[in-house]
Structure 1
Amino acid sequence: MFYSLLLVLAAVAVPGPECQTQCGGVEIQYPFGIGDSCSRAVAFNVSCLQVQDGAYKPFLALGVFELLNISLIDSTIRETNHISMYCYNSSSGFMESSTWSFDVSKSPFRFSDVHNKFTVIGCNTLAYIYDSAGKGYQSGCVSTCQNLTDLAEGSCSGLGCCQTAIPRGMGFYNVSFDGGFDTSQIWRFGRCSYAISMSAITARALQEGFVTTRKEGTGVLVKQDGNFPIKAIHATLILA
């Protein structure tokens, strides 16, 4: 089926010579394209936007998420994803939450259950991931540690970092934190908790830095085509 897919794409449409094929070092391969006339459909439109210092980067979803890679072989794309945070404010004495949801349910994409893990990082953290209605899929992950010396480099098994699988075919998720787990007593070395659906490999590399500091940021998410084998090691979305 993989070869059939490539043959169909080649036969149905080949972008014209006027179509830009790269942006920010990322190769934009059909069915994706920069502009309506260069892509297969609106869902595959890529915007090449200037971000800073004159640099350009590719974005899907009207410039919200940066596109990092397109792999026709693996039927996957990789893009950034917002990180949800739950941090103690030592000035106010209260916890402050900033959580994100992600909806691709009306697009051709689905979150890859092979590449992505729901990842929780923190020293007193319980976070949940659930579907749009909150009545279907729901899962959680707990992460604890007494001090930074507890952290095991490269490990994500509950000590400062926790990961759990997401279901196949998932197209929407919400994130929330359990208020019974806060960092008011450990804020001097770990005042923030983080949660994100992202590449399992990337999450481990972020573990120690996220526990010790508050970072506004993004992680890597992968989308994939569920009908074809997946070989990438980063987070992915699936072409349904």
Structure 2
Amino acid sequence: MASTGYENFVYRGERKFYTELTGRAEIRNAEAFLARDAFVIGGVGAPESGAAPIERAEFSAVDREIHGRDVWAAFAVRVIGPNPSDWCLINQFHDVPDKQDAVVPPPFGAELVPGGRGFRIMARAAGSRHHTAVDVERTVYEIDEFERDRWHHFVYHLVFERAKSGVIQIWHNGVSVADLVVPFGYNNEVGPYFKYGAYRAATSGATHTEYVNVELRNASLLPRVANPRSITPKVAW
């Protein structure tokens, strides 16, 4: 794969699957990352001992001190193939559980609705330390038909706050689809971090996701709503 400014790939069978980057890193070209060839996590290393296998092919940001700060993300994503029959996240802000915590869904995640062609974005909050469940879960954006084989442009503006002052603003293809002030985020020692790509239960079927022009920063990315970066993808797999 040609350079996109990312380093420290994790390899599985000579293929690149996963890397970490700084929170202010940015893909400046329009080369696509194709989350297609997942590696399986099951048994030891799975979220819970003896848990069913999961599959993931994600990029990850390492900036985890984001509670109470403005976080902006802008990107284009294209989904190819049907929704899986089980859960499938295509981007998320992943929590960093404290040692005593139970494994719970991410405080903010975009997912393909099992079966059908739906798409939704969920936000969650938990105020207590070492929580075993979330206190609040809400759907902040949902559509029944997430069109395939086309690029969808998203901009997120988020402020993770477990109190009432959390901010969730989402734009999809230039249209405001969520503008909320609600609690969301978990009471962990370390804050959540952005991940994008495929992360799903190990199910049959091929559901591919492609990403281009991913930007993550604390400064505003509001101009990307009306003027997303141009797309000339070159998938190098």
TM-score by length of 1: 0.33
The structure with more strand, counted as a fraction of residues? 2
Q: Which has the higher Rg, Structure 1 or Structure 2?
A: 1
| TM-score normalised by the chain length of structure 2 | 0.33
Which structure would you say has the larger RCO, counting Cα contacts within 8 Å and 6 or more residues apart? 2
